[in-house]
Structure 1
Amino acid sequence: MQKIRNDIDFLKAVAILCVVFYHLFDLLNISYNLNIHLFDGGFLGVDIFLVISGYLITGSIFKSLNSESFSLKSFYSKRLLRLYPPLIVLILFCLIFGYFLLFPDVYKETAIESVNALIGTSNIRFANSGGYFSLDNSDKVLLHTWYIALTVQFYLICPILISILNRCFKANTKFYVLGFTVFLIIASVLLSKNEKAYLLTQTRIFELFIGATVFMFQDEIRSLLRLKGSLSLIIFYCAALMLVYTVLTTSLSDSYWNPSTSALTIIATSLILILNYEKSFIINTKFNFIGKMSYSIYLWHWTIFVFALKMGLNTSASSCIVVLLITLIISYISFISIEKRKLKNSFIIISLICICLSYLYIKKVKGDNYLSSFMVETKLTFEPKTPKIDFILDDQKVFILGKSDKKPDIFITGDSHTMQYFDFFNDVYSGSVYYSAYEATMAYGPVFNNMNAVYLNIGKSKRQNFYKAYIHTLNELEDNATVIISNNYFLHYKPYLAEKALKDSDESFELFLKDMISDIDSQVQKHKKLNFNIVGQGIYTTFTIAKCLKTDLHDSFLRYVIKQDNCFETYDFIFERRQKINKALNQYAQNNKNVFFIDRNEPLLKIDNYKNSIYTTVDKNKKPLFRDNHHYTPIGGIQIGEYIIKNLNKR
């Protein structure tokens, strides 16, 4: 292995600080709905690491090839023995502490992710389970191992490729590697079309090969640019400033990464590697030590942050400083005692066996752990035990709910955001209502009714059956009867984009709203003697908060560890889109005498502060109102159902 240069340790230090602060602020933003944007581009620190890794590994391979001492077995042994011992200890830590602190489904996922991390496929696993920038990744303690998986994949490919090319083409090896790198860049540009691109091998590995190409052509580039003296210094500082600029100013367009997002970072990192300039005052031993520890810091920081959030990490400076210090201390211990010291093979083998056995057991028991005994499940009721069906039209059932035997003068319809009021209308409401609902379905007019897009296994035929039942029931109602439409409108935006072949944008969302209201209006205008009440879009909390609400720790020692009060309140995590939906629906209601708008979030509102408004997630007895990130529990459904009827009675 070639000697590690001070400028490379400097780059590593910059990279790991970017990543650490990005993750810290990102988790705080998600958990507390903050608006901190100091390190929005901190994820680019990983790009720096990727280019450096490609550069160093290629240097190591060529050094061995030139001395005719290259051995695949020796290469893999050295590389994997550096990467895996600290990773194995981290996984053991996650499985042990996760047994007490992670929710059962998350614990099961952690066991699966552990195996993926060990076999170098965790980037693929995470890409197919929400992507890197998903709101609900805040409890995935091994999410960051995607980078290690990508590095392992490069370790497997690069030495074989270079050794074959060197044997076949010798002097022209670097030109073939350059051609392969160009091919990978083009492939990444073409394939980076969705949220998976940030994690997938085919869209990210080109950065490692750029590092490889930089190593091979660095002498030619130095000669071409005639890098000497003050010119090298100027370029070095410009490149360093470019790194800072990208971290502080880069943001993702629609949460999608593509190669252009990382272009400036890759160029700046490559320039610094080519310059090999070590005389700058910003390259110093103390700062560079952070770079030497970067792998250990990277391994531990995310996991510690996730567990710290469960234990009360908040937005105060003192809380953040304590967590950062703990991270630094644990990382230092890992660096000194594991990364720098060769662990016994017996320890590694026993640890791997323990991880594999844990995986098999945790998967078999479906993640059951210590917390399982303290989880309280809440389920939605979709149909009555003794159904009172008014009619079935092409498999879409229309029920009559309520305590009265009179003909219903209310018709409530929608998707699962109507189903969540079932217990109220079936067991509490004194009158009678027609009830027709089907999850993930919205079809009140020709636009959505005729869509071909399939979403959550709901296709065109189901929407059309729903629409027929909707029309039939409207015709059954007498004059001045009430229609209640309650939908998760936000859910239907993605299938709308797919149907129309549109990209997510403000313009596309406006088209969605226009067609949504047009559909509703198509029947409103045909039934002007009916009163249509549109229940607005509800808030979204997080799955982490919803799972926390299902946990009753009164009889557990964890009540002193897990800060459960944090989940008794929430922000709205789709605020901007919800505001637009409800504004459009409210405006539509104001323009039509027989249409009324009901904001179902009003009973939950605790502090009105626009985007940072706070909503309660529990009732006065601390019973949960949410069963997941946007559905109510039966208790929540009854509370909001009463609010809806109260609004109707006012008129």
Structure 2
Amino acid sequence: MRHDIQGLRAIAVLAVVIFHIVPYSLTGGYLGVDMFFVISGYVISLKIHNEVKLQKFHLLDFYLHRLKRLLPALFVLLVVTTMLALIILLPFELRQFSMNLVGSLFFVTNFMLMTQDGYFDQSSENNPLLHLWSLAVEEHYYLFFPLFFIWLLRKPIYAQVLLLLLLTFIFFAAGVWWVFFDRDVAFYLSPLRFYQFLAGVICACYLPALTTPSKFRSALAISSLVTLVACFWFYNKATPSPGWPSLIPTIATMLLLYCAHQSAILNLLLSNRMMVILGNASYSIYLWHWPIIVYYKLAITAQINLAKVFLLLFLSIFVGYLSWYFIEQPFRNRGRLAGKHLYRAPRVIGCCCFAALFVLAFLIYLQQGFPQRFSAEQVRFASFLNYDSSDYRRQQCFLTNASTSFLEFNTESCLTLSDEKPNVLLVGDSHSAHLYSAFQQLFPQVNVLQVSASGCKPLIPLTGRKHCVGLMEWLYHQQLNSGLSVDGIVLAALWNKDDLQKMQQTVTLLKTYAPVFVVGPSIQYSQALPRLLSNYPPVQLAQQFSNYQKIKRLDSDYQAEIPAMGAGYISLYQQLCPNDQCHTLTASQIPVQWDTSHFTKPGAMMLVQPAFSSMVEQVSQHGLRTTIQATPK
């Protein structure tokens, strides 16, 4: 194995691990998985190609080698992860875990995740087996590729190249098309990733036939690495994947595989001992890093600081190295430890692990996550982790990340004006959607219209996913300009300090249509509030596990500056945390928030009643004046 390839594996796994520990520091680190796909396609196809030429390739041996390569470390990971899940996870979380465990055993994790939340969604952060989707994609590819490749190698060379290019283009084009219609399905669907494996095949078996000057190859390799690092830095969760942007890191990885070993600088960087060791252990590091991060965050609960970043990085690499040395290597090269009885019967051990894990997953699912591990009060709080947020009016008035176009928005349900009541337009991200139901129920004297989209701040200039930008442009420049006459506009989102700088332009535009009100930020917890309530007394939870001090300062800044822009300001913080003592439960002992930041309906009603009263009164007066002015004399 070329040492520079192991160095590329090291870069890929480090990018993924850093992204998962601190997503905001390396926003495109998830592209390390794309690198793995290309590298895998390169290495495996080159091996098959050479063995076919020497007439030494046997399909059964290929699959047995794959199993020896993957299963020992995977089974150990699943056993340890399951034992920890039984201790740490709450009933609903454990039941979800059992389904993902079965998906991991049968290499269908990616298909199961399609029906759950997206890879980048908040609720995915507590799934210890989330990362195994990529392993499933890889195995789906190798289920079919060897037979196809053997057949392909019997064709003339020009036919091989043309067929591979055509197939690569078809899979890539399908990904570009599918991501437009269903982003989460496109992310996980195996065939839409096959073009990256095929890119590795082309690089391994056909690019070497090209003759290029060594200096050109060296320059190409360096520029490819720079491009790849730039992608790690500038790509983020809003970047379509798969899609046109994913072509850049794919090609960059191809070119590095093609010519990195011919660059003295890159050889020094990629082939040094440390990078080779990390590359050798990259599979095990990848397996272990995510459960370590998830369980650390669930068990420790504290905010991640720089020291903890380095601790998690060290633990991921250290445990991954131990897994590679003591599990991967002995099972792959059994002669090295032939005297150890443990390594003599891998098939028996594997079958026993598989059966035990499957039966345990089945029992966990049947027993609803073994709620008897906790008190009745803990179970009651934990049940809110599975909160029904249908009041948000998903995929009608609130477009989630599954939406690909603002055309999915239901205008009739969400923007029907009333002739009898003042009309109030509620606009923003999910932090506007969680206010809608309480707003409408508590103030029946107004007609609440809703335009919400996940992760969509209603600020000019508009940024975000396509459905977000399209929805807000449609609202601001078409609907409000062409007869959507409202008596008040309420903006609500997960605000930060930078948003305050962009607020003036938005308020200036919107107040030409109606009075504008900005709902201030609310606190966020380091974990879902119901999980914290299940493990700790409700008193002082916010002080220990939230960003309430940061939000207090932010609320003060907003309260000082928003009125100067000509808009009203509604402080949620003052209602949620009077005298800096934050409410975690309503009077009926319902958690105020069901995840880290979104309100339950009872929680929203507790806050909206006092916070919105003054605004509703002003809107009603505006509506009355408008009615009087519109009445013919």
Q: Residues 587 and 485 from structure 1, CA distance in 2 versus in 1: closer, same or farther, beyond 3 angstroms?
A: farther
Does residue 279 of structure 2 align to residue 299 of structure 1? no
CA gap of 1:365–1:157, structure 2 versus 1, over 3 A, is same
Secondary structure (helix, strand or coil) at the match of 1:512 reads helix
C-alpha distance in structure 2 between counterparts of 1:8 and 1:563, whole Å: 47
Percent identity between matched residues is 20
The one of 352, 355, 367 aligned to 2:354: 352
Residue 67 (str. 1) matches residue 54 (str. 2): yes
Given the superposition, is the C-alpha separation of residues 41 and 144 from structure 1 closer, same or farther in structure 2, using an over 3 Å criterion? same
Partner of 2:500: none
CA contact (8 A) 2:414 2:449 kept: no
CA deviation map 1:145-164 (0-9, x unaligned) = 11111110111111011122
CA distance in 2, matches of 1:442, 1:47: 34
CA distance in 1, matches of 2:281, 2:205: 27
Q: Deviations over 1:16-39 (max 9, x none)?
A: 11111111112xxxxxxxxx44x1
Quick check: 1:244 aligned with 2:229?
Answer: yes
Whether the aligned pair in 1 keeps the contact of 2:381 and 2:531 (CA below 8 Å) is no
In 1, the alpha carbon distance for the partners of 2:53 and 2:613 equals: 81
CA contact (8 A) 1:51 1:208 kept: yes
Partners of 1:162 and 1:587 in 2: how far apart? 68
- Aligned counterparts of 2:455 and 2:574: Cα–Cα separation in 1: 24
Partner-residue secondary structure (3-state), 1:69: coil
Preserved CA contact (<8 Å) 2:524 2:546? no
> How many Å apart are 1:483 and its aligned residue?
2.6
The one of 164, 174, 177 equivalent to 1:190 is 177
Query: Relative to 1, partners in 2 of residues 1:604 and 1:114: Cα closer, same or farther, differing over 3 Å?
Result: same
Tell me if structure 2 keeps the 8 A contact 1:8–1:273. Answer: yes
Equivalent residue number for residue 256 of structure 1: 240
Aligned equivalents of 1:144, 1:205: Cα separation in 2: 18
Q: Please report the TM-score for the alignment, with normalisation by the length of structure 1.
A: 0.69
Q: Which residue of 140, 144, 155 corresponds with 1:157?
A: 144
Q: Distance in 2 between matches of 1:195 and 1:441?
A: 18
Residue 9 (structure 1) aligns with: 6
Report SS of the residue matched to 2:467.
Answer: coil
- Superposition TM-score, scaled by structure 2 size: 0.70
1:61 & 1:11 partners in 2: Cα distance? 21
CA distance in 2, matches of 1:177, 1:200: 20
Q: CA deviation at 1:623?
A: 7.5
**Could you tell me which residue of structure 1 aligns to residue 256 of structure 2?**
272
Are residues 313 and 65 of structure 1, via their aligned partners in 2, closer, same or farther at CA, if it must alter by over 3 Å?
farther
Distance change in 2, residues 1:372/1:74 (3 Å): farther
Query: Over residues 55-111 of structure 1, what are the superposed CA-to-partner deviations in whole Å (9 max), with x where a residue is unaligned?
Result: 111112112211222222111110122112211222222221112222322222221
Query: Is it true that 1:285 corresponds to 2:273 in the alignment?
Result: yes
Partner of residue 490, structure 1: 452
Q: Which stretch has the larger CA shift, 369-378 or 563-572?
A: 563-572
Cα pair distance change 1:163/1:364, threshold 3 Å: same
Alignment of 1:147-546 (within 5 A): 147-167=134-154, 172-193=159-180, 194-196=182-184, 197-221=186-210, 223=211, 225=212, 227-228=213-214, 230-252=215-237, 254-275=238-259, 276-277=261-262, 279=264, 280-282=267-269, 283-310=271-298, 311-342=300-331, 343=343, 344-369=346-371, 370-371=373-374, 373=376, 374-377=378-381, 416=391, 483-484=445-446, 489-490=451-452, 503-506=466-469, 508-512=471-475, 522=485, 536=519, 544-546=527-529
Flag structure 1 segments of 5+ consecutive residues without an equivalent.
Answer: 27-35, 381-414, 418-437, 444-450, 476-480, 497-501, 526-531, 591-595, 608-613
- CA deviations on 1:353-407 (whole Å, 9 max, x unpaired) are 1111122112212323435752334999xxxxxxxxxxxxxxxxxxxxxxxxxxx
**Stretch moving more, 10-19 or 231-240:** 231-240
1:421 maps to what in 2?
none
In 1, are the aligned partners of 2:217 and 2:262 still within 8 Å (CA)?
Answer: yes
In 2, the alpha carbon distance for the partners of 1:346 and 1:201 equals 30
Q: Secondary structure at the match of 2:445?
A: strand
Q: How far 1:313 moved relative to its partner?
A: 5.0
Show CA shifts across 1:459-488 (max 9, x none): 95x779xx69x667889xxxxx98355676
Q: Could you tell me how far 1:439 is from its partner in structure 2?
A: 9.4
SS at match of 1:266: helix
Report what 2:600 is aligned to.
632
| 1:334 positional shift | 0.8
- 8 Å contact 2:530–2:591 — kept in the other structure? no
Alignment partner, residue 33 of structure 2: 46
**Using the alignment, how far apart are the partners of 1:79 and 1:107 within structure 2?**
30
SS in 1 for 2:187: coil
Q: How many residues align?
A: 525
Deviation of 1:565 (Å): 3.8
**Distance change (3 Å), C-alpha of 1:108 and 1:233:** same
**Displacement after TM superposition at 1:299 (Å):** 0.6
Inter-CA distance 148–648: structure 2 relative to 1 (3 Å threshold): closer
Secondary structure of the equivalent of 1:126? helix
Q: What secondary structure does 1:141 align onto?
A: coil
In the alignment, is the contact (CA less than 8 A) between 1:108 and 1:366 conserved in 2?
yes
Amino acid at match of 1:641: Q
> Quick check: 1:489–1:537 contact (8 Å CA) kept in 2?
no
* Secondary structure class of the residue paired with 1:490: strand
Give 5+ residue unaligned stretches, structure 2: 332-342, 385-389, 399-405, 424-442, 459-464, 489-514, 622-633
Pair 1:523–1:187, CA change in 2 (3 A): closer
| Counterpart selection for 1:102 from 86, 89, 92 | 89
RMSD: 4.5
Contact kept? 1:567, 1:617, Cα under 8 Å? no
Give the direction of change, closer, same or farther, for the CA distance of 1:149–1:603 in structure 2 (3 Å limit): same
Q: Larger helix proportion, structure 1 or 2?
A: 2
CA positional deviation for 1:187:
2.4
Match of 2:427 in 1: none
The match for 1:618 among 576, 580, 584 is: 584
